[in-house]
Amino acid sequence: MEWGIINTENFKDIYEVPIKRWDPLSTVKITSEDFGVRSGRTRYYGHYSYISPIRGERPKGFKTIEEEKEFFDCSKEILKKHKDVFSSVIEGKQVYDDGGIPIGDVYTMIITQDEIRRDKPFSEKPHRIERIPEANKALTLINRYPSMARIVDPDIEKYVKDNLPSHLKLSRGINLVTISRHFYPSLCFNLIPEEALSGIFLSMKAAILYCIEEAIDKDYYDIPVMPFFNIGRKAGGSQPRIHSQTYIDLNMDGHGSRLEGYLEAFKEMGDNCHLCQTTHGDTDRIILKSEFWTFYNTGSPVRNYHIRFHPNEHLRRFSQLKINQIEELAYSLKVIFQALDDIEIDKNRNILFNCCPYGYDANFHLFADIIPHETIGGAEMADDMRVARKLPHIAAKEIRETLKKYLQ
């Protein structure tokens, strides 16, 4: 099941495949044509889980707590410590750790090298690694440990369908991981050159477009796409190297309740898009407004210091971002992360891009969230709710004042 491939050689059991399951107590049928209703296929929104046994086999990037702590220290020294699970893929040869144990794969599947298309998104064969030129900025790979199956042998697919209980389904989709060509620890976000970060965004964008094109060619449609960064182990990042991921869900069975909320809200706004028109609390919650982007502390934070940002242009998807928007985003994220470090906000953070699914005829304004890690309590798990202690306009003031010295 590695690389999302299920075939006669690796198939063992119906429960050894990635599964998608909708929670019957929080799942509702989609009835709006804007949000993907089509005759002949039932769609849902609500809570779902991807259950993927292969995820447990992911290599761990940090062996000890001490080793992880090294990556909190963002001195330049850390850049030399560059042997990680992706080193072999970059160097084109098997890399060994200090104890002589091989780390990383000697096989890979590269969707985009910078923006250049390489392996086909539905390719069935990982190939030998090869050295990636130093001039490259980023690589987008098929995730070896995905939560969805990309390619399934048709006979096995039928067998799984016939034998899995009816409320469970084999989960289909593509999981991408985008890494920087050179090693930068994700916890030292401010050390990453802007070009490297732009390179990651550009490679992601090219890979998403390639995957969507090929998926449509295979008669998939109405496709939710979720690009995100897990920065630091506590935010779900199992590797120290800066990397992003993209989940491309090809189940054609709907979307989650959070996305439904966004879709409904934008629908209600109609032509009066909130993000195009708002001043975000009369400007006192705005952290940074530049030519192409607006960053602000959201008035209803999911965590203390939760930052939301959006392109000033009314775009629906990450993949519509243009080069000048991407370059300015890389610069802005770097300075904002530096400001968050300066005021000692937890370095474990997620960046989540909220996009309109491909194929939906819905109004949407692309936006993203920066969510610093925090432990949450029971009340917050019981509903789509958070108890925060920091007033957003005060958080914004702190960040704004810290930012001043970095802005040209």
Using CB under 5 A, count the residues that bind Zn ion: 5
- Cβ closest to Zn ion, residue 235 vs residue 275: 275
The span of 19-27, 218-226, 268-276, 301-309 binding Zn ion (CB under 5 A) equals: 268-276
Stretch that binds Zn ion, among 71-79, 175-183, 324-332, 364-372 (CB under 5 A): 364-372
Q: Which is nearer to Zn ion, 181 or 365 (CB)?
A: 365
Tokens of 266: 């934008």
**C-alpha neighbours within 13 Å on the C-beta side of residue 10:** 15
Q: How far is the CB of 301 from Zn ion (least distance, A)?
A: 21
CB 142 within 8 A of CB 209: no
* Whether the Cβ atoms of residue 313 and residue 350 lie closer than 8 Å to each other: no
Binding flag, residue 54, Zn ion (CB under 5 A): no
In the complex, the smallest distance separating the C-beta of residue 289 from Zn ion, rounded to whole angstroms, is 15
The helix or strand, by DSSP H or E, that contains position 140, with its residue range, turns out to be: strand 138-142
Which residue is closest to Zn ion by CB? Answer: 273
How far apart are alpha carbons 389 and 304 in whole angstroms? 7
**Site for Zn ion (CB under 5 A): which residue of 28, 116, 216, 276?**
276
Ranges assigned E (strand) in 181-231: 225-231
Nearer to Zn ion among residue 276 and residue 407 (C-beta): 276
Task: Give me the least distance between CB of 110 and Zn ion, in Å please.
Answer: 35
323-342 vs 392-403: helix crossing angle, rounded to 10: 100
- The answer to whether the CB of 185 falls within 8 A of the CB of 71 is yes
Binding segment (CB under 5 A) for Zn ion, from list 76-84, 192-200, 254-262, 271-279: 271-279
CA distances from 256 to 1, 63, 137, 171, 215 (A): 25, 34, 33, 15, 21
Residue 365 interacting with Zn ion (CB under 5 A): yes
Using CB under 5 A, pick the residue from 131, 314, 322, 405 that binds Zn ion: 314
Residue 310 C-beta: closest distance to Zn ion, Å: 8
Q: Measured between alpha carbons, how far is 182 from 243 in angstroms, rounded to an integer?
A: 11
Among residues 37, 269, 273, 391, which is the contact residue for Zn ion, using CB under 5 A?
273
The rounded Cα 174 to chain-centroid distance in angstroms is 12
| Shortest distance (Å) from residue 356 CB to Zn ion | 11
Contact (Cβ atoms closer than 8 angstroms) between residue 26 and residue 172: no
275 belongs to the binding site for Zn ion (CB under 5 A): yes
- Using CB under 5 A, which of the segments 18-26, 48-56, 309-317, 354-362 binds Zn ion? 309-317
CB of 273 to Zn ion, least distance (A): 3
Would you tell me how many other CB atoms lie within 10 Å of the CB of residue 115? 17
Contact set with Zn ion (CB under 5 A): 273, 275-276, 314, 365
